[in-house]
Amino acid sequence: MVYLNGQFKPAKEATLSIYDRSVLFGEGVYEVVPIYNGKPLALDLHYQRLVISLKTIFIQPVFDLKTWHELILQLLQHNDYQHKNCLLYTQITRGSTFSRSHKIPHDLQPTVILFIQPFVPPDPLQNVICFKVVTLADKRWQRCFIKATSLLGNILSIEEAKAQQADDAILIRNGLVTESNISNVFIVKNNIISTPIANELILNGIARQLTIALAHQQQITCHERDIKENELYEADEIWLTSSSKEIAPAIELNNQPVGTGRPGPLWCKFIKLFEVYKNQLLAKSYAN
């Protein structure tokens, strides 16, 4: 079952107009929220980012945080996922109009889509999933802080990385690291964590925010700053963060090992702290 414009219905019956502006222009925004045992993680942070994305493209929020949470719980119930792990996908587009024009119509009813997908959370204590990455030029647009549905730049870059037998690419713009195609990037040097500044050229990932918050909580030095491309090659560790992979080690960069070519000692320590931190956040958010 999925949610589309006020109704829960089987996925095969959920249809979108060919005139929807997400179809014609890729004009929409989205969020992906990890759900653990029926509980969304950091839903408030996801909502804050969703609102920023919507307002930036001149769409007013269609629901408040409480209403969104209620819709999620209903969706989980319709799919018998109240106590299971999954990823929630929420997409909001400007809506449909029979006139195809680049000029924004401000009188449309937004299209709202929610659905879930099965999710097996990373289990780094039992099975560490490591990544091989390459560096590529960041050829995307200038407003990467918007979580927009138009991801053609990311998709083409991932294909270029795959052609080099890599899992993903770390993107470089004007000699500085921005992010990967599907993750934020952290480096570790001499037990100091650094990550690029959350400006208009990167998406301020929720896992990124949680990683920074946890580092500060544990009094582990973590800087948000410009990172030069050459610092990747000098790093002891490289981490990739996202809602689905949480915090994952990149062990190979451009066919060369990162550090020892194995998950680094700070990552091994930090991922255990993150597991505790994540469970604390979930318990605190749903204490009642």
Which residues form the catalytic set? 147
Long-range contacts of 203-208 (CB under 8 A, 24+ apart): 203/144, 203/145, 203/147, 203/179, 204/49, 204/145, 205/179, 205/241, 205/242, 205/243, 206/41, 206/42, 206/45, 206/46, 206/49, 206/243, 207/241, 207/242, 207/243, 207/245, 207/246, 207/247, 208/184, 208/241
Q: In what order do the strands lie in the sheet with 28-36?
A: 7-9, 2-4, 111-118, 86-93, 28-36, 39-40
| DSSP H or E segment with residue 9 | strand 7-9
- Residue 149: closest CA among 91, 220, 80: 91
Q: How far is CA 178 from CA 56, 106, 137, 182, 198, in A?
A: 21, 33, 10, 11, 9
Token duo for residue 197: 């500044």
Neighbours of 133 (CB within 10 A): 25
